[in-house]
Amino acid sequence: MPCRDYYDDHPEQYFKEATEPALKQRIAFAESALCAVMSMMEVGLGSVMWSQIDYASAGITLEELAAWYEQHKARDKKIRDAKIQKARAKLTKEEIALLGLDKAS
């Protein structure tokens, strides 16, 4: 660290060979990794996790990270809910009843 400073100040050195699809793939990987780590921290440490991070060294603020994480979780939930609704739409009323989904919200 501070990775953010390096990337912001010298992106051409780090991403010299990268194409737009490769950058998108790298960003998606980084977001998935961050989400996975934060989810595990949230389960294991609860609200204590926020105080365990060295924000200055990371070049971010608590507010920025918390906002990103809440937005990311909301986006994940929206995508997951849409997939569930799409799968549920393929079921008959009888299948929905047999699976007990008619009682679920």
What pLDDT score was predicted for residue 24?
84
User: Is 1's pLDDT higher than 60?
Assistant: no
Q: How many whole angstroms separate alpha carbon 24 and alpha carbon 19?
A: 9
pLDDT tier at 3 (50, 70, 90 boundaries)?
A: low
Of residues 34 and 49, more confidence is placed in 34
- The C-alpha atoms of residue 23 and residue 72 are separated, in whole angstroms, by 19
Reference 75, options 25, 35, 26; nearest CA is 35
**Biggest CA pair distance of the chain:** 59
Spatial distance between the Cα atoms of 77 and 70, rounded to a whole number of angstroms: 11
Query: What pLDDT band is residue 8 in, cutting at 50, 70 and 90?
Result: low
- pLDDT tens for 40-92 read 888 888 778 888 888 988 888 999 999 999 999 999 999 999 999 999 999 99
What would the pLDDT profile of 18-30 be if each residue is shown by its tens digit?
A: 677 888 888 899 9
d(CA 36, CA 48): 17
Q: pTM, whole model, 2 decimals?
A: 0.70
